[in-house]
Structure 1
Amino acid sequence: MKTMSELKYHYGLKMCIHPSTKQKQIIKMNSDVSRAVYNAMVAIDKELYQLKQVKLPIDMVQDRIKELEQRKKAQNHLANHYYYMNHPYIDSYCRNMAMRSYKAAWNMFRKVHNAGTPNFHKKTYEEKYQTSGTYKNKKPVNMWTGSIRFVDNKHINIPKLGIIRVSGSYRKLLDNKDDIRIGTTTISKNAFGIYYVSMQLGSNTPFVKELSKTNSQVGIDLNTDNFLTTSEGNVVANPRFYRTIKGRLAKAQRKLSRRQVRAKKEGRSLRDSKNYQKQRMVVSKLMNRVRNQRNKFLDEMSITLIKNHDLVVAENLRSKNLLKNHALAMSISDVGWRIFLQKLEYKAELYGKTFVTINPKNTTQTCNKCGHVMGTKDTDKLTLKDRSWTCPVCNTYHIRDINAAKNILDKGLEQLA
């Protein structure tokens, strides 16, 4: 039987689930165990690092190092050390996946170096744990036969949780394919109290059909004034979802802060303070609304570009660097450039289209007709205030963003040539 990585096509599926009260308790238990295992691995590595700084051959130190290294190797050592992890409601794969997540965090640190080393996971109002689907050799491998499986179009079965009702736009996927394998599965609850299940799906056949060719190419210029401008001259307005509720959110957060101060003065726990929890849900609801609006907008924009063009070219923007400009940090965070580029990338691959990113250097300052770069040859460099300009060499009138989008498309074509 092939592993998930050996399968040719992969797909991510996220659905809303509706667990019972008992199932919510089991999810919380597994989430707590997952966080405890991860934090135990962090603590073990920190202690090992400190012990290995001792250069003297002290027997007690060496014995402690051996004990910690044995406990680190397998989840059974942790389960034997912490007996509550052997509770019948605890999924054994939950402990194993927590250790894999810890190792993946270290691998990411070694590969990228700016991700940071693994730190302790604090207890929050959110809950999350991962498990993995398994299959028996005698049964066919599909989404109806594993330990994590679909019972019908409205229910799934998850180890320890049993059958749970789900809702989401997944029925077309189930009706069209019968060779889907379910891999890593994440059960989560957000701060607003909504439960989700996310599945990693694998198959040897495509999940969706490739879109027909349109013989169209487009370059897009992302900015804060407008969300994007295309090389064809189309302009998409910036919806500014966060700014529309900024005042309401600030008022709700001030009220939440006052209730927090009052609860602490009276010596009450925040988790037991009903007024604080009610106001926390109000704040979470507002933030969740902005998140959902932005995600829906970016989904619609990305799929529209992919469907209508064979090639989409964009700037390789580094949002982290741009956020250092405090005057634009709020606008850049609100617009969601990085998420938008990620959506374009995976949707282009999914539907058989091409998406490339280019170096944004001088895309705004260059005349698309003659190639003159502003800021050179005794010409002034364009500023953010200059929304339109005339080339001093060829006297061509440019609208700033459309000219930049055309330069982005030309750079993309050169990169692919």
Structure 2
Amino acid sequence: MLKGMKLRLYPTRKQEQQLIIMFGNDRFLWNILLAGINQRYKNNPSFKVPTNRQMDYLLVPLKAEYPFLKDSDSTSLQVVTQNLYQAWKNFFNDKTHKFGKPRFHSRKAAKQSYTGKSNVKVAAKRYVRLPKLGYVKTSSTESLKNCKVKRYTVQKEPTGKYYLSLQVEFENQELKPTGKVVGIDLGVHDLAITSDGIKYDKLQFKQLEKKARKWQSKYNRRLHGVTNIVESHNHDKHRLYDLDVQDFSNWQKARKNKAVYQAKIANQRKDILHKITTELVKNYDVIVLENLKSKNMMKNHNLANAISSNAWYMFKTMLAYKCNWYGKQLIVVDPKNTSRICSNCGKKNHNFDNLTQNQWLNIRNWTCPYCHKNHDRDINAAKNILNRGLKQTNIQLVKD
């Protein structure tokens, strides 16, 4: 079974210089191969894009012509040819216009990375051995025991921090069955509500979001000012030299600060979602989840911020792969009318048919006009989601 893992790296200054070279070599190889393919395609429109194996044959003469390519892990250069071929393949086979034509990579990109297929070895409790870099200090290697690394990626984030992402192979780790089932309703007022009545609070990062917006505003303002200065200076015919946006450090400081706060928000969100999804997978054998169209719901500007902050898609994705890891079952059902149907008698409450969306969202409790049972809106929806999912699998639910 394949898993993804991410560790923090703490390279020395010498290793940072080597990383800059390796990032640049991958970027250089991508650009020079892409330029050659573009030129050949321009000269001959019937030209077929070479496969990654055919491009691999070019690596030997390219290394002879550009000796600095030898400073990179050889497998990382092979990954570049694979990615370039896949990008062209996606472009030509794309019928939905989802993929565009491969573009050149810029050295000015805020995020830099390279991927290799060489074996990464654990050297000590907090050290790993990477090709061309040697022993690099890392956050922790305890999680790398009893696994085989298939592929690794070293990445420099816009915050200036380095990370090592690993694709590792583990043995199956199925959890003991608990005999429990649960339905989950995703909400705006709460992140998730289970059919057992457990509510997980919505994700809020007000202080961090306030600081992130502040530095985003500073970044936009400073970049706009710097761009005007550069254009005005370079337009002058009597200039002695050209200016570039990268020559100004003030806007780069704002870019780094906003990236720091945005990264904190993303990390805290992932941490909370990981804890919740792991808890659900450990406690239940069958999890039934509603399939919400968050893209359509984001069109309501009053709800867009809450929906995007709760990260429903990430929540669903985490549940899916963790159920696959630990031998549990995830069922996704249509959520239509689950909040308006009584989970006790199964009849729909037609009193809500003519309400607007805002009016309906303000109703948190209601009483069934048929069986007179009082419902918490979200818990009732979670129970209906559970019942709907169990019908698909022919599992009988015993009512309390």
TM-score, normalised with respect to structure 2: 0.83
> Which string of whole-angstrom CA distances, capped at 9 and with x for unpartnered residues, describes residues 111-145 of structure 1?
89474235424441211110002xxxxxxxxxxxx
Given candidates 97, 102, 105, the residue that maps to 2:84 is 102
Does the Cα contact within 8 Å between 1:185 and 1:200 map onto a contact in 2?
yes
Q: Where does residue 73 of structure 1 map in the other structure?
A: 54
| Pair 199,298 (structure 1): closer, same or farther in 2 beyond 3 Å | same
Q: Where does residue 239 of structure 2 map in the other structure?
A: none
SS at match of 1:215: coil
Q: Where does residue 339 of structure 1 map in the other structure?
A: 314
The correspondence of residues 305-316 of structure 1 with structure 2, limited to 5 A, is 305-316=280-291
Q: Where does residue 234 of structure 2 map in the other structure?
A: none
SS at match of 1:129: strand
Q: CA deviation at 1:53?
A: 5.0
The correspondence of residues 16-415 of structure 1 with structure 2, limited to 5 A, is 16-39=8-31, 53=45, 65=47, 69=50, 73-77=54-58, 80=61, 83-84=65-66, 86-105=68-87, 110=93, 113=96, 115-120=98-103, 121-122=105-106, 123-133=108-118, 146=119, 148-168=120-140, 170-174=141-145, 177=146, 180-203=147-170, 205-206=171-172, 209-241=173-205, 243-267=206-230, 268-375=243-350, 380=354, 383-415=360-392
Question: C-alpha separation between the residues in 2 aligned to 1:226 and 1:324?
Answer: 20
Q: Report the residue type matching 1:32 in the other structure.
A: G
Question: C-alpha separation between the residues in 2 aligned to 1:368 and 1:47?
Answer: 64
Question: C-alpha separation between the residues in 2 aligned to 1:98 and 1:131?
Answer: 9
**Overall identity of the aligned pairs, in %:** 30
| Pair 263,75 (structure 1): closer, same or farther in 2 beyond 3 Å | same
Does the Cα contact within 8 Å between 1:79 and 1:85 map onto a contact in 2?
no
Q: CA deviation at 1:263?
A: 2.9
Given candidates 5, 24, 37, the residue that maps to 1:13 is 5
- Single out whichever of 350-359 and 269-278 deviates more from structure 2: 269-278
Q: CA deviation at 1:261?
A: 3.4
- Single out whichever of 152-161 and 385-394 deviates more from structure 2: 385-394
| Pair 79,316 (structure 1): closer, same or farther in 2 beyond 3 Å | farther
TM-score, normalised with respect to structure 1: 0.80
Which segments of 5 or more consecutive residues in structure 2 lack a partner in the other structure? 231-242, 395-400
Which segments of 5 or more consecutive residues in structure 1 lack a partner in the other structure? 1-8, 55-64, 134-145
Q: Report the residue type matching 2:296 in the other structure.
A: N
Question: C-alpha separation between the residues in 2 aligned to 1:386 and 1:320?
Answer: 23
Question: C-alpha separation between the residues in 1 aligned to 2:201 and 2:10?
Answer: 37
Provide the aligned length of Structure 1 versus Structure 2.
375
> Which string of whole-angstrom CA distances, capped at 9 and with x for unpartnered residues, describes residues 54-110 of structure 1?
8xxxxxxxxxx48x7489931342674684475331222222112222344466675
Does the Cα contact within 8 Å between 1:231 and 1:403 map onto a contact in 2?
yes
RMSD: 3.0
